[in-house]
Amino acid sequence: MTVVTRRNCASPADSQNSPEDETGQSSSDGSDRLILTKNCSEEVDVSFWIKSFVILFISAVYACTVRNTCNYKAVTNEEKHVRFSSDNARIHLQKITSLGPRPAGSSANELLAADYLRRELQNIALSAGLLGPTVTFDEQVASYSSFQAGFHVSAYNNLRNFLLRIDSSTPHENSTKRAFLINCHYDSAVESPGASDDFVSCAIMLDIIRIFAFGPNDLTNDLIFLFNGAEESILPSSHAFITQHPWAKEIVAFLNLEGAGSGGRLTMFQSGPGSGAELLVKTYSGSFAQPYGNVFAEELFQSGLIPSDTDFRIFRDFGLIPGLDMAYTSDGYCYHTKYDTESRISEACLQSTGDDILSFLRRIAYDEDLASIEKLKVSEAPSSDIKVRNLYLSSDEI
């Protein structure tokens, strides 16, 4: 062990008795020391820094490993009617990702994926029990509009969204309903089959809808599930919903499900803003078996340094509602590539994610405090300044 020792200057007499001079290479006890006899008497152990680095490195590796390790309990046949089933979600995921890339405007997205979602959601709505909650299916075809977000200006027409609403049984004051929104997008990047980004979220939502639709009719709050058909082309479908659909004005908060990697555990990387954030984060931490959030990621993402965005921005800035933004972040090199495949999503992570989201939505559905969340003021939305504003141009003005 090499030790660097600094001590006060010795007297001449002491120096004569020293086994070496003041730059000597050994000490009286024979250990390997470098003696500096110029100023102070503190001793610094070089091995301390080595040990600290090793501990820090191991801790970082451990944290990354634990974050991406999904713990789950297998679903028995007796539990399938009340628990999320990864087997059911996997079937949805395999069928849609087998279509290949689904960019907005492609036949894979506008015809094949759309037909699949329409059929699945209609079947659930038609099959819901008479004693269960009221289940309403809706297909939105957006009319022309445009908006600006940052440096981007998006114009759109005829975008397609699929929605399924599960009504509560609780009377609302002044006949005003309060609903919670859950959002995914079924389109993909041009070169990607879009498993984690983002159809796995849609597959999870489909099976969770099954559980609520055939469950008891005793919800306190309405749940609205949105399957939007164009997110990758700079967020137009979420804008079409939040600015044009009649259900939008009844939404008080939302959960946005995204993908920025391929599989692994969900990371919460944006939340809020406003007073509703505390309720949402508290519900999240109390319902997810393995909650994981990153404040630094939120600050970095909202700073504008990352050239990317999610539907979270649209709901927050144009709907003026608070929410949570969650994404898969493992294996980020697969993001928007042909490697974002269904096979990369493990059984453990698919099951645990579905269990967690179902647990979260059950708490939200019965939370009486949800109705107390108020719409955001314009000053509370971080990006709701001149950089982000509705244009609402008519087609004649383009």
Q: Which residues are catalytic?
A: 231
d(CA 361, CA 282): 13
Residue 106: count of CB within 10 angstroms of its CB: 17
Which residue do the tokens 């001590």 mark? 7
**What are the Cα distances from residue 104, in Å, to 21, 77, 108, 112, 159?**
79, 38, 9, 12, 9
Query: Angle 347-365/200-213 helices, nearest 10 degrees?
Result: 50
- H/E stretch holding 258 reads strand 251-259
Radius of gyration (Cα) for the chain, nearest Å?
28
Residue 303: count of CB within 10 angstroms of its CB: 9
d(CA 115, CA 109): 9
DSSP string, 166-217: E--SS--GGG---EEEEEEE----TT---IIIIIHHHHHHHHHHHHHHTS-S
43-45 and 33-36: which strand pairing? unpaired
Query: 34 - beta bridge partners?
Result: 4
Torsion of CA 180, 279, 349, 211, to 10 degrees: -40
User: Do the beta carbons of residue 125 and residue 118 sit within 8 Å?
Assistant: no
d(CA 118, CA 160): 11
d(CA 180, CA 314): 16
Look at residues 226, 12, 11, 36 and name the one whose alpha carbon lies nearest to residue 3: 36
d(CA 323, CA 355): 20
